[in-house]
Amino acid sequence: MAAVVGGSVAVVEADGFHIDELAGNVATKEDTLSIAFVSAKAGASEPWLTLHYDEWIAVRTGSIAIEQEGLANVTVRAGQTVKISKGTRFRPSFPEDTTYIPVCIPAFSPSRCIREDVTEEGKDVALNLKKLHASGTVDDLEYCLKDSPEVLYHMTSAAEWEQAIADKVYYPKTYEQDGHYTHATGVPSRLVGTANHFYQDSQGDWVCLQFRRAALKACGIHVRDEEAMPVGDKDVDPAWVSKKWICPHVVGGLPTSVVEKVFKMTRDGKLFTGIEGLV
């Protein structure tokens, strides 16, 4: 059976860079895959990106220069197709006027494409994408972004925290795999459930760190408020998606100097049961 399921929707309109989604979460309201048509002017570029999906890029005209972390650059020319595998951190730029067709499986969403924006225009692009992909209304999303809690929490093993004190900075084990950020929450009641979802297979004592956005900002570290994201190879609880959880992601590690409190977590075997003095 053939059926028209949607149509082209402009999802990015920036200086020298334009994306029309042809199929996906915005254009056809489905998450199986996304297809887009992209045009970029000579000299344009995107920020560093880390993907949580596989992406195929078919270049129609021009060329794309792909910078990869720790690997040689790749140039993709007209008529060629490149695959960007899930977990890749890369930065595309356009030495000449270029058009291309990206296909993402599963479909593109802001929660699956971690952007390291450093310009105001890039941050505006990221916010607009969140609005377009929001499960609820745009007003709901903007409310969550404006009312982001100041006090944040992160859980880690006591051994990792002791090592961080010696190093004067903390990075979670999955920092690179997750897209170069540190998971956090501003809602203490979510902590124990989150620990039991992700960390029951861990051994030994655990602690919960308390810190503030303002302290991170003073160190040049910003926080993105996004959908719940996987930790390493472990996906999120579907219930968190249905409840539209917004989670703070610290774009960087944690200098130990910003941590103002350390709470001991309690366990009964593998099960996390509480956090002394907090929940």
Shared domain check, 125 and 200? no
pLDDT > 70: percent of the chain: 95
Shared domain check, 178 and 80? no
Shared domain check, 161 and 91? no
Q: Per residue in 150-162, pLDDT tens?
A: 889 999 999 999 9
Which segments of the chain does DSSP mark as H helices, in order? 120-133, 138-146, 158-167, 175-178, 191-198, 213-218, 238-242
CATH number, residue 28: 2.60.120.10
Per DSSP, what are the bridge partners of residue 59? 100
For residue 212, which phi and psi values (nearest 5 degrees)? -125, 150
Task: Identify the CA nearest to 169 among candidates 258, 249, 51.
Answer: 258
Residue ending a domain, choose from 81, 113, 133 = 133
The pLDDT-based confidence of 70 (bands split at 50, 70, 90) is: confident
Task: Identify the CA nearest to 108 among candidates 170, 179, 51.
Answer: 51
Shared domain check, 117 and 184? no
Please indicate, yes or no, if residue 58 is contained in any of the structural domains.
Answer: yes
Give the range among 89-98, 124-133, 177-186, 214-223 with minimum mean pLDDT: 124-133
Compute the distance between CA of residue 115 and CA of residue 220 in angstroms, rounded to an integer. 17
Compute the distance between CA of residue 231 and CA of residue 238 in angstroms, rounded to an integer. 14
Please indicate, yes or no, if residue 4 is contained in any of the structural domains.
Answer: no
User: What is the H or E stretch that residue 81 is in?
Assistant: strand 81-84
Shared domain check, 167 and 105? no
Compute the distance between CA of residue 50 and CA of residue 88 in angstroms, rounded to an integer. 5
Residue ending a domain, choose from 104, 133, 162 = 133
Please indicate, yes or no, if residue 138 is contained in any of the structural domains.
Answer: no
Q: Per residue in 29-69, pLDDT tens?
A: 888 999 999 999 999 999 999 888 899 999 999 999 999 97
The pLDDT-based confidence of 3 (bands split at 50, 70, 90) is: confident
Compute the distance between CA of residue 143 and CA of residue 126 in angstroms, rounded to an integer. 16
| Three-state DSSP state, 222 | coil
272-279's contacts with Cβ under 8 Å and 24+ in sequence apart are 272/192, 272/195, 272/196, 272/199, 272/200, 272/206, 273/192, 274/192, 275/188, 275/191, 275/192, 275/208, 278/153, 278/188, 278/191, 278/208, 278/210, 279/188, 279/189, 279/191, 279/192
Shared domain check, 215 and 152? yes
* Domain interval for residue 251: 144-275
Looking at this protein, which amino acid is placed at residue 115?
Answer: R
pLDDT over 80 (residue 278): yes
Number of domain units in the chain: 2
Please indicate, yes or no, if residue 139 is contained in any of the structural domains.
Answer: no
Mean pLDDT of the residues in the chain:
90
CATH number, residue 238: 3.20.170.20
Overall pTM > 0.85 = no
Taking the CA atoms of residue 137, residue 125, residue 170 and residue 262 in that order, the dihedral angle to the nearest 10 degrees is -30
Please indicate, yes or no, if residue 2 is contained in any of the structural domains.
Answer: no
Shared domain check, 156 and 270? yes
Shared domain check, 148 and 271? yes
Shared domain check, 152 and 122? no
Which segments of 199-260 does DSSP mark as H helices, in order? 213-218, 238-242
Residue ending a domain, choose from 100, 133, 166 = 133
pLDDT score, position 146: 45
Shared domain check, 246 and 188? yes
Residue pair 22/13 in contact by the 8 Å Cβ criterion: no
